[in-house]
Structure 1
C-alpha cells in the first residue's frame, strides 16, 4: 500500500540522513572490513552512513547493537538499525528503509542494495 509514511516509521534526526547516505551507495561492492567510501561490509556501511550524518557508531554489528537503544518492531523508524542475530552474537546489520526493507551490504560477491527483510528473527536499534 503506497502512500504517506506511517507515524511509527517517521525518521529520526540522524536516521533520515544515514538512510539517504546508504541509499546513495547503491551498487557499491561488498568488501570484508571495508568502511567506504567506495566499498563496504555490512557494519562498514552503517558506520559510514551514520558518520556522514554526524553520529558515531562502533565498528562491528555486535558493537553497534550494544551501542544503540533497542526498540520493538512496532516502534521501529526509518533509519533505525536492523540487526540479524546468529546464536548469541549479531552477525549482520542494515538500515531500515520502511515497508520491511533495509539498505545493506549483504556478503562477498554482492553490492549495496535495498532488500526485503528475510527473517523474523531480527532486532532493532536506534542510534542517538
Structure 2
C-alpha cells in the first residue's frame, strides 16, 4: 500500500472515530472565547477526540505518545494536544483536577480508579459509562465500560 492510499484511509478512520466520540458524548462544537466553563468543555471534548484517535496504540509503561501510552501518558498527551498541561502520574493528575461527583461527570472528565485512597489508573470519560484508556501491558488504547465502583472524577480547568 502506498502512502497516497494509506493517508486518506487513515484520515477517514480518524474522522469516524471522532464522529463516534461525538455521537457517544452528544458533544457539540463550542465557540472559542466563550465562558470559562464552555472553554473547559471545549478542551475536554478535544482531549476526548485525541484519545479516541489513538485507538489501537500499544500500552507501554512510562510512554506518553504519540504512538505508545501508559494510562496517565494517554491523558497527558490528549489534554496537551487540546491545549492544557497535566502532571505526569495518575495520582498527580487527580490532585490537580477539580473533583466532581459521579452525577456531575461529563464527557472529557478524567476517571480515576482508586484503592485505599491511592489512585492507580486514569482514563477519559466518553459518556455512557465508558472510558478511553490505555489499560496495561499487552493491551492497546480502547473504549471500555467502567468496571469498578471505586472511581473518582476530575475536571481539567
Q: Please confirm whether the aligned pair reaches a TM-score higher than 0.5, indicating the same fold.
A: yes
Q: Give ranges in structure 2 of 5+ residues lacking alignment.
A: 1-22, 28-37
CA distance, structure 2, for counterparts of residue 72 and residue 82 of structure 1: 11
Runs of 4 or more off by more than 6 Å in structure 1? none
Q: More helix by proportion, 1 or 2?
A: 2
Length-normalised TM-score, structure 2: 0.75
Q: Are residues 1:96 and 2:125 paired?
A: yes
Greater relative contact order (CA < 8 Å, ≥ 6 in sequence): 1
Q: How many residues align?
A: 124
What CA deviation, in whole Å up to 9, does each residue of 1:68-97 have, x standing for no partner?
000000100110000000222100000000
Match of 2:143 in 1: 114
Length-normalised TM-score, structure 1: 0.92
**Root mean square deviation of aligned Cα:** 1.9
Q: CA 1:87–1:4 in structure 2 vs 1: closer, same or farther (change >3 Å)? A: closer
**Structure 2 counterparts to residues 7-26 of structure 1, below 5 A:** 12-26=41-55
| Structure number with bigger Rg | 2
Q: Give ranges in structure 1 of 5+ residues lacking alignment.
A: none
Contact 2:124–2:133 (8 Å) recurs in 1: yes
